[in-house]
Structure 1
Amino acid sequence: MGLFADLRDSISTVTAKLFAGSEEETKRIGIYGPPNAGKTTLANRIARDWTGDAVGPESHVPHETRRARRKENVEIERNGSTVSIDIVDTPGVTTKVDYEDFLEHDMDADDAKRRSREATEGVAEAMHWLREDVDGVIYVLDSTEDPFTQVNTMLIGIIESQDLPVLILANKTDLDDSNIQRIRNAFPQHETIPLSALEGSNMDEVYDKIASKFG
């Protein structure tokens, strides 16, 4: 009886660990940053590399992403282990959405106002996800733009106050006026990883960091 009891206990222990692990494995990772930083391009790059599917449409029009979009069970394999994450592509966060910005992209006034309203609601939704529903953050910045803004400082502060693990990515390194050091100087407390989500450059390092940070 002792042998069978030991075997039964061993099976129970292994089963418990398997089920416990399955509950903890998948992390919700929010992709945050200002409008047009390349968040959806990055989300699509990750999703296509590991699942073959895109998360959503990409566009040069600001606030094209006006609702959070989620790609579940993205399994990233690094160094013989697998990290499972849900990608949450969030709308770009800004202090103000002006409908006149949309008029510059060949939209009529009614369409511009509708998009402005939806984008404003999307910012609120992104903040809700940040405060309630994500386990970590990938913060994407356009390396051709000045990163030291009120919104970026506020969001990084919120992420830090909630003790969320965060990766800062300096995107658009394929452009001539990219300045990675400017982002490093703005947020020296966090490591900055350069990449071009559009061209896929340096994605191996990005995936290594995702695995180590969120695994």
Structure 2
Amino acid sequence: MNLFIRTKKRLSKFLNAFFKKRQSRIGIYGPPNAGKTTLSNRIVRDWTGDALGPVSEIPHETRRARRKEGITISNQNGNTVTIDIVDTPGVTTKIDYQEFIEYGMEKDDAVKRAREATEGVAEAMHWLREDIDGVIYMLDATLDPFTQVNIMLVGIIESRDLPVIIVANKIDLPDASASAIRKAFPQHPVIPVSGLEGNNMEELYEKMLDYFG
């Protein structure tokens, strides 16, 4: 009888673990240098006190997807959502090692960085097609949002019917224009923030509660 009870308990524990829904994986996507890692670090730091990865003015500092699990976001009304944040490499249609040489890298290092960045883009696209449950799409609000990469990525996100929040980053800069991004993607919510300064993060967190909860 004791053996039967122990077996039943083990089976119940196994089934509960098997059928338990995993936390939503929220990917932070966008072109290089849009501020994805800066925002990822801001979110992780605000809610856990940690950080996710280094940032740099050199493109493709993030060359592998990095994930921080179990981030619980809440508001004063008691609403909460627990997610995994996935910081992804910047997606672009072409990566040229000459670009890194312009930042002072030696040729061998530049070639290696370009190869790693290309592999990172492929990995980011795999995550998007297979393992992502929602997207924060990052755009530099000082740049024209009408690019091939942005149109392509937003189209892929829409084809997967994923919830997406578009973030107009770098609003601390004088030439930033969140309105241009709203005109480019009127079908999605656009939240203007400064990931570096922390401006308007409360509005982003409220939208994350609505979209990813």
TM above 0.5: yes
Correspondence for 2:7:
none
Q: TM-score, normalised by structure 2?
A: 0.90
- Helix, strand or coil at the partner of 1:168: strand
SS state at 2:149 partner: helix
5+ residue gaps, structure 2, are 1-11
Identity across aligned pairs (percent)? 69
Please list, as runs of the form range in 1=range in 2, the aligned pairs for 1:47-196 lying within 5 A after superposition.
Answer: 47-78=44-75, 79-196=77-194
Aligned to 2:3: none
- Choose the corresponding residue for 1:212, options 207, 210, 213: 210
**1: CA distance between counterparts of 2:190 and 2:69?**
26
Contact 1:25–1:84 at 8 Å: present in 2 too?
A: no
Runs of 4+ in 1 over 4 A off after TM superposition: none
What is the deviation of 1:199? 0.1
SS at match of 1:24: coil
- C-alpha displacement of 1:135: 0.3
Give, in whole Å, the separation in 2 of the partners of 1:127 and 1:46: 22
Aligned partner of 1:37 among 31, 34, 52: 34
- State the one-letter code of the partner of 2:114: S
Q: Distance in 1 between matches of 2:20 and 2:94?
A: 38
Deviation, 1:104, is: 1.4
Shift of 1:106: 1.3
Which consecutive residues of structure 1, in runs of 5 or more, have no partner in the other structure?
1-14
Conservation of the 8 A alpha-carbon contact between 1:25 and 1:83: no
Q: Report the residue type matching 1:175 in the other structure.
A: L
CA deviation after TM superposition for structure 1 residue 26, in Å: 1.6
Q: Aligned AA for 2:192?
A: P
The DSSP-based 3-state class of the residue aligned with 1:100 is helix
Secondary structure of the 1:199 match is coil
CA deviations over 1:29-88 (Å, ceiling 9, x no partner): 000000000000000000000011100001111000000000000010122022100000
Residues in 2 aligned to 1:23 and 1:173: alpha-carbon distance in whole angstroms: 40
- For residues 176 and 102 of structure 1, what CA distance do their matches in structure 2 show? 27
CA RMSD of aligned residues (A): 1.6
Q: Tell me by how many angstroms 1:25 deviates.
A: 6.4
* Matched-pair contact (CA < 8 Å) for 1:26–1:83: no
Taking the aligned partners of 2:182 and 2:31, their CA distance within structure 1 comes to: 17
C-alpha separation between the residues in 2 aligned to 1:23 and 1:58?
A: 35
> Cα deviation per residue 1:100-150 (whole Å; 9 max; x = unaligned)?
010111110000000000000000000000000000000000000001001
AA aligned to 1:65 is T
